[in-house]
Every structure is written in structure tokens, then in C-alpha cells.
Amino acid sequence: MLLREVAYARPRTLEAAVRLLGEHEDARALAGGQSLTNAMKQRVGSPAVLVDLAELAELRRIDRAADGSLELGAMATYAQIVLSPEVSSTHPILAEVAHQIADVQVRNRGTIGGNVCWNDPTNHFPPLLAALEARMTITGPNGEREVGYDEFFVGVFMTAAGPGELLTKITVPAPGACGSAFASVPIGKDGTCIVNAAACVDGGAPRIAIGCVAGVPERATGMEQALAGGDLSPERVREAARGLGQALDPPSDVHASAEYRRHLAEVLAVRATLQAAGRAA
Amino acid sequence: MSVPELRATIVAPEEQETEVPQRGFVGQNVPRKEDKRLVQGQGVFFDDVKRHGMGYIHFVRSPYAHAKIVSVDVSQALELDGVYGTLTGDEVAILTDPFFELSTPPGAHIQDYALAVGRVRFVGEPVAAVVAASRELARDASELVEVEYEPLEVVVDGERALEEDAPVLHEEAGSNVVWSGSFDWGDYDAALEEADRVVRIERLHFHRFSSTPLECSGALVEYNRGTGQWTMHCNHQMPGIGAIWMAPSLRVGLDKLRFVTQDIGGAFGNKICLHPYFVACCLLARKLNRAVQWTEWRTDQHQANAHGNERTFLDIEVPVRADGTMLGFSVRAIDDCGAFPRYEPLGAIIWAQVTPGCYRWRNIRVDFTQVCTNKSPVSPNRGYSRMQHLWLTERIVDIVAQQLELDPVEVRKRNYVRSDEMPYETPNGCIYDSGDYARCLDIALELIGYDSLEEKRKEAESRRKLLGVGIGSTLDSGTNNFGQSQLVNPELQFSGNNEVATVKLDIFGEIVVTLGTVPQGQGHETTAAQVVCDILGCTPDDVNVRPGHDTYWNSHAGFSGTYASQFAVTGLGAVKGATEKLAAEMKKLGSVVLGCTPDDLELAGGTVRMRENAEAALPFMALGAILNANNAGLPEDLDVTLNCRYVYRPQFEVPDLERKFGNLTLTYATQIHACVVEVDRETGAYEIVDYAAVDDCGNRIHPQIVEGQVHGATAQALGAATHETFPYDEDGNLLTPNFYDYHVPHAMDMPPLKNGFIESPSPFSPLGAKGMGEGGGAGIHATCAAIQDALAPLGQPVVYDSCNPYNRVWELMRDPAASASLVTVESRDGSRS
């Protein structure tokens, strides 16, 4: 309703989708529509062609690869992730975080691919996938390519999936003995995150990523290095987090000052890391 | 579906009796008459009303907070196929007169039109309108309207607006001041002399927010060229006043304006000031000779409909005795009404309905100034003006208790007006009709387990949470004496109040009720039927209450509408009066037919019958048929119409304008709320973990409806206290223009609500009931107090703002001295702390 005039296509094959995205200069892929259609209603974004991916069943698959990694189709909904036995058997953190997103209606429509491709800095999945060191498969006119999360997230609302390309799959490496956790301060119980943090502990150095503080999820590399020795006692983790906030350059907005975000980044990095350590044990 | 089946589906089991139960229906939770159509999706809201060939309106809105309009060019929009026409500010300036202003000068000189004329004064202000065959097309076309602006300096802060060199919004007024005045009751100077301590608070700020009705504003407007009449299918909640604004502006008589409503998805006061939009709709319907519809969008609603009043309290001074007895207070208040006053400056007096809050304070001095800024205009918002003031009184109590190390519960009880003092006259002449605040407080404390508070604090501490408890004590003053408007402008010809109902008995014995009110979810059809059936001796199912408001179809009066917590008094007072007239006529007619006197008869079981012989009975159908269709032989002098109209008019005097003294409202419902919060020590994020709301609104007509309204008012308050805020940047851009950033409480955010009720009947209202729909923002006050209590161990920070998102709580924790320094205590032995 009240969108600018837009052409709409609902291809039945991935090839057709990629072709349509390549053929039209101002085409956008439509996944769950939980962000894009709102932007279109506000007319801050008005693609000429919408390529709806709803019919592409292959993009909704959640599979286990031979090497034990988890392969999430880009069109897997949050609800699917919450309920998937594959997810809960090896990567329950994905289900835990998906369950925190908004409400049941949104979870039934919203997809993990849409979440990361939109790359709103307050989204839940970018920092989590950074801590899990996920890889993204992008399909374009010239075939498939795989990029790491660090290459995938480019900036606010920007990713490595360029014009004519489509994110098709997110691969999360096998967890080993990894424990993962996610901590956030949202507005109210289920509102937008003010700051969030994800941690993954796997014997050696933990991997810690902070969301809402920059255009891309920020790995807390200093903190990770300080904890490389493997001592994840609460005192040690708190010590390692000190100064993390000052190393960040978060935005100030109506919900939080940059200073508050710096503070929350430290608190939440500690919480996520300690919880992850507890789960790894 | 036959009629009996229908009844079976909507009548609760305990009411399935053929005989009328002995007890009355008033006071019972009868099934709501409105619910069947609403839950089946058969309600009719204004946007459901369509007309052949109608056009859709889209407003072109200002992207600037303050700018001169250099030019408006609609030519490209008009060229688009399917565009029916446009309207610009230049046309409006020719075709209409500015809306009348309620204020004395300087506010009186402000010129407010349906569209911006020559200058825009807030982001989102309508500059032009486009009408097209579809909403999408209208929106597309509006993007082709070229408006050239010349930006002006912006002022978004009320205090800044008062400075000498501040940009002036309304040059014709010559100042940003709308209205200012002083109020001085009791003997404040003597109270200062008498005090053992004087607590001074430098500044407190009540923030800007608003209610967010599920249904935004709008109207479908038709113009009848033959008669010159406009019909507005709309959701205006106060048509009586709306027409008084609109008709002179449109240069027509009141009777040319017909307001029609059926179902409204919430209003909360936000739908009182729709007249600028409606006048634009009327002009377009006339100009284009076609029905037009305007449906407001959420972002428009946030940016440019109506916010609640923002108020800054400065130099607060509280004389206190050593035992915690407060003798009154003085304060300088600056109220920011945004770009246009509209319903203002009534907010500059409405607070005086509850001048001392719930307290026995006798000496009060208030200096009140209302200013314009480059922000959305305000309008009454649930708890209108009293909520801001009661937040002040509650902050005073909790800050004084904190500073003097007194128990906030004990301080309240020491200062509350006592039940044995009711009716109680406040220092400015308002009469608190009834109530027992201390008892309500005891119930609230019991509901949250106040006795085991210290154990709960320890348990929370073990989870690194700080637990705090806060109380909000408020009054919902209802049934305005509009004479209070003369305290802001003696020229205004408003006083008293009224409401209308008609009740008739039709040919087949149908009882049909019409209301002058404008229900928005409050269940007027249900409660009106309860009152009617108890008087006529039948059941609510026998009573048909026409839904909604209709200026032509129903009867109405000058103050008709649904606002200001008054239906249970004014609306039902009118229903009661009309029904009693009808009952008397039915007995009179019955006495003629049955050959007895009216006193020999009673109304029971759907009949009029002999008291001594129930067999001698005439069913309602017989009465209706005899008078309406079979009346040959009835005596010539039988003055019976069976169609009775009654205007309820509460007894009020015009206030004493010199002393600013008089009774400003008829009833005062009590709300005592208690809130328990847990604050995260590290982040400042907090959660309301327990909550009790105890209300006393006198006799409850329908307890479940009362409880529902308590829940709504509580949710409104908790949203405002935590996350709902309308802040602006320095350029005058609203930073929370829709639900992306404006976080209302979701179901998950609401604490478990514990409700308690006592009933202190009002001696002044027809049914002993009191208006109660607004509450007094008790949840805001209680949450602020609870946060202050929770943070006390960290260095006694002072909660100084009514909205406390996590960031602010963290700042209070991190630097408690900053807020604590807002307060000083002078001991009358000369020492200061």
C-alpha cells in the first residue's frame, strides 16, 4: 500500500531470480519483507523491480554439510531456525537469538538472509555470525562465490552482495566444543537493540563481536587477544574488557549516547563471554 | 439468526433468565453490547466508509521546522492523470477565517489556518493538499508539488523561546508567549515563615509524549451543494467544540456541519484538535464537488497531529515541618505547547483542578507561562495537564522524603486529605467529593507485598539488581466546569457543562437510546443500557443504544463529546434523566389505559403493571403501539410522547475570577499505584517486576470496563515513564517519528497488573459514579519514585525527568551528584545542606 509503482516478479528458480536481478538496473530481492517493504512505504527506498524469493524452496533448506558445518538457506525464517532440529543439535545459539527477534508474526516472515543483507547495525545476526565466523555464499551471473563474514558486511545497509547478486547460503562452521552466547540491552523486552554482543569460546582465544556500535559487527580483537591464554575467569574477562569501549566509535542517537554504548559494549562483551565459557565447559 | 438465538450467544449464563433478576444490572459485568460486531470484524470505522467517485487526500507537509513559504506550485501535480484537484494556503487564506483563539493577548493574536499561510512552523505542517483517484496516486502527485522555502531560525526549547533574541514564531503576537498568569492561594509567605525546613528543587522536566491510538485520525467528507451542508464520517471525539471552531472559520452556521462516528479505535484527547485537517477536507469536498477522504498515517500522526504538553518546573520551593508535614509549595512552570495553541491555553488552568494533588497543602503559589516552539502542536492527552502537575506533586513528596530521610509512605499518609474531611475544599475552591487515599495506599502496598520489601531487596541484590518501590497518588478530576476557561480569558463565554440523551419507546416496544457522546471503546452502549433497563424494569438486551455520534440523527449539546473523564457522570446522567422521564410517561399512559393513577403502577418484567396485581399488566409493545399507532380515544390533554430528551447539567458556579477560586470539576476519582522495579547495576536497564493499581471511582457501573480502562491508563503511563518520548533535534526534526523509534509497551513489556478497588460514591453525581478513564499518570509518578528508591544506595540521585530510558538511569547511577545537586535543604536554624 502506498508504495511507488513497482514491478513484481516471483521467479520459480534461482537461475531466473539471478537473471531478473541482473537484467534490471534497480531490482531488489524481496525476502521476508520485514524491512524492505517498510522502507518502501516510507519511500526512502523505491526499487523499480521487486524479485520475490518466496518460491525458491531450495533457499529455505537447513542442512548439515559433510564437515559438520551448518548450512542455512538465505530464506530460512527465524521461526524455522527456532524449530530446526539441525540447528538445535549443534548451534542452539542461532535458535536462541532468532527467538529474541521481535514477535511471532515477524519471526514467521523474517529470514536470516534478509537480516544480514539488510545489515541494519542493530540487527541480531550480524554480530552473532561474526563471532561464529560464518561464511556467506553469493550467487551472481558468473556463478557462486564464498566470502567470510568480515568481507560480507561492508557498512550500514551495505554488504558484499552487489547488484545482480543474491545471498543464497550462510555456512556456520562446525562448533567443536564451542560454547556460544548472546547478550543485549534492547529497548523493552523485544525492541531494537541498543547494544548487543556475541561470544564463542572454543578452547583457545574466544571470538567476541559487538553489534550496534558501527556499520559492521566489530570483533573485540584486543579483548580476544588478552584472553588468548584460555583463562576465562570472571576477573580475567572483566579485566580484558577494560578499554574495549574506548576503542569503539559508536553513534549517538535518540536511544543512547555514544558513551553509554561504549559502556554497554564492555558490559555485554563480558556477559556474553562468561556465558559462552560456561556453556563450553 | 432469530432473535432468541442471538440473545443466547451474547448473554452470559447467569443472566439467562426470563424473569428480570432482583438485583439491578448497574454494577454487574454484563456482556458488552459492542463486542459482537468488533470481534467479528463488523465494526465501522471512518476509513470503512466509501462513496462513489470519492477522492483521496494527501497533504504536502513541511520538511522545515521554521521557514517562509516563498512559493507553492501545484501545476505539475494537476497534470497527472487521475488527480482531481489541489488546495493551497493562499486559497485557505481567502476562503476561511483563522480559527478563534482561546487566549488573551499575546496568544489571542495568533493566526491559525487549515493549511500553512506564508510560513511553516513545525516539521509535518500541512502546506498543500492533493486529491486523486487513489491514495497512491495522491501521494505520487504530492511529490510533484513544488514548494520553495526560505528557512528561518528554529526554537525547540520552551525556555529558549522566552529569551529576548529568540526567533518569534507568530509575528502578529509579537512574542512566543501564549499566556502567562500567577496563582496565589492561602498564605505562602506565612507558610515559609512557619517551616522548619525549606526544600528547594532547581528544575524538573515533564517530557513530551502522546498516546498512540490504534486508529489514526481522519474523515470522509461529503458536501451537499444544494443545502450547503457538510457530512463528516470521522473520528473527532469532541464534535461540539470542533463545530465551534470550524463553522466560523468556514463562515457558515453550526448546523451546516454534521459529524458522524460509529466505531473509533481510541482517541485519548488526540482527536480533539482535528479542525484544521477537517476544514481542509471541507474546502476540498466543496471545491471538487466530490466526497474526499483523508486518512492520517502513523508518521503524520507522530509528527503533526498532537502531542501532550511538555512542562518544565523551575525554582520549586517546599516549606516543610520537621515531622514531614508540608505546608504547600511554590513553582514557576513553563509549558511548551508547540507551534499553535489550539485547545490551549486551557492547559494553563486545567492543572488547577488538582492544585494540591492528594494533599492537605493550603499554601500554593504558581507562576505559569505557556510558550510556542517549532514543534508539533499539543492537544489534551489522557491525564491532560493534571498529569504533569501531579507528577510535580509526587516528585515533591518523594524528593522531600529523600532529603529529610522520611518514609515516603508515612509522608504521604501524613499529608493526604483524610476520608473524614470529605467533601474537602482545596485552597483554590475545588471540592474533592469523596475518597479514602490512605486506605487505597494500604491496599496497593499489600498487593505488592510491601511488608517483605527488605527481603526482596536482598534477594534482588544477590542477582546484582537494585530493587526499588515507588508510589503514585493521583486524582482523575472529571466533569469540567468550563467556567474555568474564564480564568485564562474572562471574555470567553463558556461555563458549566452538559450532555444529552434521548430514550424512546417505539411501536413494537423497542427501547431506543441515543447519546450525544462519542464512544471510542469505553462501552457506552453497554453502560447506557444498564442504566436504562434498571429504571424500566427490563434487561440490557431489551435496550437498543445507537452506536456512535451523529449531529443530525442524535441530540447533542454544546459540550457533547467524550473527553475529560465524564461519561459515567454526564452521559449516564443524561441517560438516567431521559429514562426517568420516559418511565413517568409510560406510567401515565398506562394509568389511562388501566384506569388507575400512575402511582398505582410499576415497571417490571418488560411491562407496566399494577403494584397490587401483577396480572393487570401492559407489555411495552402495547404501550408503544397504543400511543404511536392506535391512539384514537386517548384524552386530548394527555401530554405523552414516549420520546424523551434530557439534558444533564451539573451544578456549577462561574469561578471567582479575582481570587481564581471555585469548583472546577464535579468528581475526583482516586488512583493509588505502587510499582516495584529492578535495576541492573551495570547497565541501568530496568524492569517493572510488580505493580498494583488501586482505583476508587465511586460506584462502578461495569467493573470490568473500569478495570480495562485502568489497565489502559497504566500502560500509557508505564510507556511514558520508560521509553515513549518525542525529542527534537536542534533543527526541529522529531527523532521518534514512528514506531521504529517510539517504543510503546508491548504485551511482553507490561508487568503483571494487580488491581484493587474501593467504592466511595460521589455525593454529587447522578449515579454516585465518577469519571475515571484518564487516570492521573500514576504509573509515571510511581515508576520515577521506584527508580529513585532503587538507586538510593548509589548516592541518592534525584529523578528529575518524567521519562527515564536506560541511558538516563545509567547517568543517574554514574553521576548521582549531578542530579542530587538540583536539590537543597534549608534548615530554619539557618543551615543549608
How do the domains of chain B map onto residue ranges? 50-152+214-267+271-304, 184-210+306-482+657-827, 498-543+564-649
Nearest CB neighbour to A187, from listed B135, B299, B723: B723
- Domain B50-152+214-267+271-304, CATH among 3.40.50.300, 2.40.160.40, 3.30.450.40, 3.90.1170.50: 3.90.1170.50
pLDDT digits (tens, 9 = 90+) for B41-91: 999 999 999 999 999 999 999 999 999 999 999 999 999 999 999 999 999
pLDDT digits (tens, 9 = 90+) for B413-466: 999 999 999 999 999 999 999 999 999 999 999 999 999 999 999 999 999 999
Q: Tell me if domain B184-210+306-482+657-827 and domain B498-543+564-649 are identical in fold.
A: yes
pLDDT of residue B832: 53
Nearest CB neighbour to A188, from listed B727, B743, B807: B743
pLDDT surpassing 60 at residue B7: no
Q: What's the whole-number average pLDDT of chain B?
A: 95
Written as nine digits, the cell of B778 is 500514576
Helices (H), A31-187: 36-42, 78-83, 85-90, 92-100, 104-109, 112-118, 125-131, 149-152
Helices (H), B404-506: 408-415, 437-447, 453-462, 485-488
Instruction: Please report the residues numbered 7 through 26 in chain B whose beta carbons come closer than 8 angstroms to any beta carbon of chain A.
Output: none
Nearest CB neighbour to A190, from listed B299, B746, B805: B746
pLDDT digits (tens, 9 = 90+) for A16-68: 999 999 999 899 999 999 999 999 998 888 999 999 999 999 999 999 999 99
> Smallest CA–CA separation between A186 and chain B, in Å?
9
Please answer whether residues A278 and A179 qualify as being in contact, where contact means their C-beta atoms are separated by less than 8 angstroms: yes
DSSP, collapsed to helix, strand or coil, labels residue B342 as coil
pLDDT of residue B558: 86
**Consecutive 10-residue averages of pLDDT for chain A (281 residues):** 88 97 94 94 91 97 96 98 96 97 95 97 98 97 96 97 95 89 96 97 90 97 95 96 96 97 98 95 73
pLDDT of residue B709: 96
pLDDT of residue B6: 31
Which of B60, B682, B723 would you mutate first to test chain A, the one with the most A CBs within 10 A?
A: B682
A2 contacts B136? CB cut-off 8 A? yes
Nearest Cα to Cα of residue B668 among B396, B415, B474: B474
What residue ranges define each of the domains in chain A, with the CATH number in brackets? 7-52 (3.30.43.10), 57-172 (3.30.465.10), 179-280 (3.30.390.50)
> Smallest CA–CA separation between B803 and chain A, in Å?
12
pLDDT of residue B830: 57
**Sheet arrangement for strand A207-211:** A179-186, A193-201, A207-211, A218-219
Does domain B498-543+564-649 match CATH 3.30.365.10?
yes
Q: Closest residue of A to B718, CA-based?
A: A188
pLDDT of residue B556: 86
pLDDT surpassing 50 at residue B10: no
pLDDT of residue B652: 97
Which of A1, A2, A41, A42 would you mutate first to test chain B, the one with the most B CBs within 10 A?
A: A2
B807 contacts A257? CB cut-off 8 A? yes
B749: contact with A, CB 8 A cutoff: yes
User: Residue B786: which residues within 8 A CB-CB, separation 6 or more?
Assistant: B468, B469, B470, B675, B676, B677, B688
A253 contacts B140? CB cut-off 8 A? no
Q: What is the bridge-based pairing of β-strands B499-505 and B511-515?
A: antiparallel
B134: contact with A, CB 8 A cutoff: no
- The complex's ipTM? 0.96
**B chain contacts of residue A5, beta-carbon cutoff 8 Å:** 136, 140
pLDDT surpassing 70 at residue B578: yes
**A chain contacts of residue B749, beta-carbon cutoff 8 Å:** 188-190
Written as nine digits, the cell of B307 is 502531542
Report the C-alpha gap between B278 and B286 in whole angstroms.
Answer: 12
Written as nine digits, the cell of B83 is 488527480
pLDDT surpassing 60 at residue B14: no
Q: Closest residue of A to B729, CA-based?
A: A254
Which of A254, A266, A268, A271 would you mutate first to test chain B, the one with the most B CBs within 10 A?
A: A254
Taking CB atoms and an 8 Å cut-off, how many pairs form between chains A and B? 61
Written as nine digits, the cell of B622 is 402495547
Report the percentage of chain B scoring pLDDT > 70: 97
Classify residue B769 by its DSSP letter: B
DSSP, collapsed to helix, strand or coil, labels residue B442 as helix
pLDDT surpassing 70 at residue B650: yes
Q: At CA B311, angle to CA B308 and CA B315, rounded to 5?
A: 170
Q: What is the bridge-based pairing of β-strands B197-206 and B310-320?
A: antiparallel
Which of A1, A100, A255 would you mutate first to test chain B, the one with the most B CBs within 10 A?
A: A255
In angstroms, what CA-CA distances link B44 with A177, B8, B86, B262, B266?
59, 24, 28, 6, 13
B135 contacts A1? CB cut-off 8 A? yes
Classify residue B694 by its DSSP letter: E
What's the CATH number for B184-210+306-482+657-827? 3.30.365.10
Half-sphere exposure for B581 (CA within 13 Å, toward CB): 20
Classify residue B569 by its DSSP letter: I
pLDDT of residue B498: 95
How large is the C-alpha radius of gyration of chain A? 19
Residue B833: pLDDT band with limits 50, 70, 90: low
Residue B137: pLDDT band with limits 50, 70, 90: very high
A188 contacts B746? CB cut-off 8 A? yes
**A chain contacts of residue B807, beta-carbon cutoff 8 Å:** 194, 255-257, 260
pLDDT of residue B8: 30
Which of B140, B728, B739, B806 would you mutate first to test chain A, the one with the most A CBs within 10 A?
A: B806
Residue type, A276: A
Nearest CB neighbour to A263, from listed B135, B725, B810: B810
**A chain contacts of residue B810, beta-carbon cutoff 8 Å:** 260, 263
- What's the pTM value of the predicted model, to 2 decimals? 0.95
> Smallest CA–CA separation between A242 and chain B, in Å?
14
B807 contacts A260? CB cut-off 8 A? yes
pLDDT of residue B829: 73
Report the C-alpha gap between A100 and A78 in whole angstroms.
Answer: 9
pLDDT digits (tens, 9 = 90+) for B152-195: 999 999 999 999 999 999 999 999 999 999 999 999 999 999 99
Residue type, B674: A
B746: contact with A, CB 8 A cutoff: yes
Q: At CA B724, angle to CA B721 and CA B727, rounded to 5?
A: 115
